[in-house]
Structure 1
Amino acid sequence: MIPRPSYRVVQWASGNIGARTLRAVVEHPRLTLAGLYVHTPAKAGSDAGELCGLDATGIIATRDIDEITALGADCVLYTPRACDFDEVCRLLASGANVVTTRGEFHRAGSLDPAVRRRVEAACDRGRTSIHGTGSSPGFITEALPLVLTSIQRRLDGLTIDEFADLSRRDSPGLLFEVMGFGKPPAEFDERRLSVVRDSFGPSLRLVADTLSLRLDSVEATGEVATAPRPVHIAAGVLPAGTVAAQRITVEGLRDGRPVLRFRAHWYCTTDLGPAWDLRPTGWHVTVDGDAPLDVDIRFPVPLDRMAATSPSYTANRAVNAVPFVCAAPPGIRTTADLPQIVAVLGPS
C-alpha cells in the first residue's frame, strides 16, 4: 500500500469551534500541529494542549502572524469569529493553504469582486487554495444536496429544514443579543434577514451552479412566534409577548417559484403564539423530483449536552477537508470543486 501523506497544520483561533479543530488536529493520525494563533492576550504563551483539554504538545500559542507564516505549514485551519481578509491573504501568499469555517468562501462569485481578486492573487503567489466549509452552511446545504440530487434527472424543488431547540443553551449573549430572542417582535428586522441570506444564499447558488439550474434571485423572508407567558430557559427568561421562536427562509427562485430552499426553525419553547409545527433538533430534507426523497436527520444528544457536542458537526468536516484542500489547484475551492470529503479515522 502506498503511504498516504501527512500534513503540518496551524490552528488559527481557539474559541468554541477552534478548540474543537485544535483537539482534532492533535489527535489526527496524519496531521501534525505546527502552530497555534490566538487572539486573546491571556492565551498567548499557553501550550496548545492546555487550550483544548489535552496533555502538553510543545506547541506554544502566539499572537504574532509573522511567526505563523514562517512555519511553512501545509494548511491553516482558520476559525475566528470574524474574517480578516488581510490575514487570509497573508496566509495564502505565504504558501499555506486555508480551510475555514467562516462563511465568506462557500462560493467565489458571492464575494465582493475586489476582495475576490485579492484572494485569488494571494493564492497565485503562494500556489495555495482556500475552502470554506462546516455543517450549516456547508454539509447540509451543499454536500448532502449534491449527493441527493445525484439520483435525480428532474428536480422540481429541494427544501432543507433546520430545527434547533435552544431552550437549554446557556448563552445569553448569543440568544438575546445576537439572535434577538426575548425582544419585541417589531425588533426582528431586515438586518437579521440579511445576515441569514448572506450566510446561506451562496450555498444555494453554488448548488444551482453545479446542477446547471438557473436562479433568478435569492430572497429571504422571516417570521416570529411569541411566548404567550413568561418562559424560563437556560439563558434566562423570555417575557410574555416577546420572540420565542423564529423561522427564516432563504429561497433560490426561478420564474417566481422556489427551486432551492433553506428554512431555519430556531426556537426556545414549543409553547408559542401562534402554534408552530416543530421537530427536535436536526435537519429534514425533502427532494421533489422524478426520484422523490424525504430524509430526516436528528441529533441524538440530550439538550443539556448539545452545546458541548454541536461544535463537532462544524469542526470535524473542516479537519477532514485538509488533505483535499492541500491537494487542490490554487484558488478558491468550493464543495463542488473538491472530491467527496472522506474522513481518515485510523493510522492505515
Structure 2
Amino acid sequence: MKRRVIQWATGAMGKTCLRAIIDHPDMELVGLFVYGDDKVGRDAGDIARRPTTGVIATRNIEDIVSLEADVVVHCARLAPPYGSHDAEILRLLASGKNVISINGYSRSKHWKGERLAALEAACAVGGTTLMAAGLNPGYVGEQLAVVATGVCSALDHLEVVESVDCRVVRNPDYVFRVLGFGADPELVDPNDEAWGPASSLNGMYAEVLSAMAEHLGLALEGVATDHRVFAASEPLSIAAGQIAQGAVSHVNWRWHGLVEGQRRLTMSIHWYMETAHLPEIAPPLWRIHIKGQPGVKISVDMEKHEGDTSPTSAEQIGVAGTVINAIPWVCAAPAGLMTRPLATPFNGGGAQFVGRLATPHPET
C-alpha cells in the first residue's frame, strides 16, 4: 500500500525531500504547499525537475487541509521564535494528517503548559502523530550518539560537535537575519534568548537534549547555553553577499543538558563562513565524544553516490533519506507526540536501489 504524502515547502531541503517522495515506489505525492508566488500553480514534477505528477503547488492551507493524506513532510524554513510554525502544524494534525518536521519537535513533551496541551489536543482530534526527522536535529544526536553509548557501563559526558560550512548558502535573509552572520559582535549577546537566531534555535536544541536524555534514561533538569560568536579576520565574499572584516563570521552554538547539576550532554554546532576560528581546519561533519567506561570517539562524514554530479549536497540527500525512512514509523504510531525511535533504518521492502532512482538533474 502506497503512503499518501504531502510535501510542505520547497526550499533546498524541501525540494530534495520532494524528489525523494516522487522517486519512491511506496510513496504517492498527493499535495504540495509552497511559499513563493512563482511556484504557485506549477506541477510538482516541474518544481522538482521530475516528470509531470498532476499535483499542483498551492500556498492556500485550506487546499492542503482538505486533502486525504497519511503524512505531511513539513520543511518550512527555520524562523524566529521557535514554535512559529505551531499554528499550521496544529491544523494539519487536527485534520487527520501525521506530521514529520525537519526543523524541531524532537521531543515536544519537553514543554509544559498551553503549548504542550495544544499539540496533544490536535493529535487527539485528528488521531495523528507528530515526529521529527532530519540529521541534526535527528540522526546524529537522538540516534547515532545515543546508540554509541551501548558499550558503556558508566557514562560521564556525551558530546556531539557538528561543523557546517555555510559559505554556499545563497539566501541573504536566511544568512544575515535568521543565522546571524554579518552582525556586529559588540552588539550581539548570543546567549540572550531575545536575539533572533537564539530564539529560533534554543528551543529546538533543548528538545534534542531532552530526547537524548529520554533515550538514555536520564532526568534532564535543564539546559544551559554557552554560545560564542567570532569576528571575520578579513572581508569575506560569500554566496549570500559580503561580510565585513570584524563582523560575525562564525557562530559556535553550545547547549548543555544538566543532570544532577552537572553538564552530562552537550550539543555543539559550528556554523562558519571562514575556517580561521575552527578548532581544526578540515573538521568532519560530526564528532561524537563519549566520556565513560569505556570512552568512545566517532568521526562521521557523508558523501554522495559516485556518478551523482548534481549540486544537491550529501547532507540534503541525507535529510530526505531520514524523512522517507521515518514515514512508516509515524504512520504506524499511536496518536500523540512521538520521540524518534533509536533506529529508523533503510527499509529494503521498497527495493530502492541507487540504480533505480531518477537521474539527478543538473540543477536544484
Normalized against structure 1, the TM-score is what? Answer: 0.87
User: Structure 1 residues 237 and 329 mapped into 2: Cα distance closer, same or farther (>3 Å)?
Assistant: same
Could you tell me how far apart the structure 2 residues matched to 1:229 and 1:54 are? Answer: 42
Does residue 288 in structure 1 map to residue 291 in structure 2?
A: yes
Work out whether residues 169 and 307 of structure 1, in 8 Å CA contact, stay in contact via their aligned partners in 2.
no
Instruction: Indicate the residue corresponding to 1:251 in structure 2.
Output: 256
Could you tell me how far apart the structure 2 residues matched to 1:145 and 1:101 are? Answer: 18
Could you tell me how far apart the structure 2 residues matched to 1:294 and 1:212 are? Answer: 21
Counterpart secondary structure, 1:41: coil
Give 1:266 deviation, angstroms.
1.8
User: Structure 1 residues 102 and 181 mapped into 2: Cα distance closer, same or farther (>3 Å)?
Assistant: closer
User: Structure 1 residues 288 and 106 mapped into 2: Cα distance closer, same or farther (>3 Å)?
Assistant: same
User: C-alpha offsets along residues 117-164 of structure 1, whole Å, 9 cap, x if unaligned?
Assistant: 222222222221111221111111201122112222211110001111
Give 1:256 deviation, angstroms.
4.2
Instruction: Point out where structure 1 has 5 or more consecutive residues left out of the alignment.
Output: none
Give identity over the alignment, percent.
33
Instruction: Indicate the residue corresponding to 2:29 in structure 1.
Output: 33
User: Structure 1 residues 74 and 280 mapped into 2: Cα distance closer, same or farther (>3 Å)?
Assistant: same
Does residue 53 in structure 1 map to residue 56 in structure 2?
A: no
Could you tell me how far apart the structure 1 residues matched to 2:67 and 2:170 are? Answer: 38
Give 1:323 deviation, angstroms.
0.8
Does residue 100 in structure 1 map to residue 96 in structure 2?
A: no
Does residue 298 in structure 1 map to residue 301 in structure 2?
A: yes
Instruction: Indicate the residue corresponding to 1:271 in structure 2.
Output: 276
Listed as ranges, the matches of 1:1-348 within 5 Å are 5-81=1-77, 83-103=84-104, 105-111=105-111, 113-189=113-189, 190=192, 191=195, 192-272=197-277, 276-300=279-303, 308-335=313-340, 338=341, 340-344=343-347, 347-348=350-351
Instruction: Point out where structure 2 has 5 or more consecutive residues left out of the alignment.
Output: 352-364
User: Structure 1 residues 13 and 229 mapped into 2: Cα distance closer, same or farther (>3 Å)?
Assistant: closer
Counterpart secondary structure, 2:88: helix
Could you tell me how far apart the structure 2 residues matched to 1:234 and 1:281 are? Answer: 22
Give 1:260 deviation, angstroms.
0.3
Work out whether residues 234 and 245 of structure 2, in 8 Å CA contact, stay in contact via their aligned partners in 1.
yes
Q: Which runs of 4+ in 1 moved over 4 A?
A: 304-309
Work out whether residues 106 and 204 of structure 2, in 8 Å CA contact, stay in contact via their aligned partners in 1.
no
Give 1:281 deviation, angstroms.
5.0
Could you tell me how far apart the structure 1 residues matched to 2:25 and 2:100 are? Answer: 18
Give 1:237 deviation, angstroms.
3.3
Could you tell me how far apart the structure 1 residues matched to 2:249 and 2:313 are? Answer: 23
User: C-alpha offsets along residues 35-61 of structure 1, whole Å, 9 cap, x if unaligned?
Assistant: 222233332221110111111111112
Give 1:214 deviation, angstroms.
2.8
Alignment coverage as a number of residue pairs: 337
Give 1:290 deviation, angstroms.
1.3
User: C-alpha offsets along residues 178-197 of structure 1, whole Å, 9 cap, x if unaligned?
Assistant: 32323321133212444332
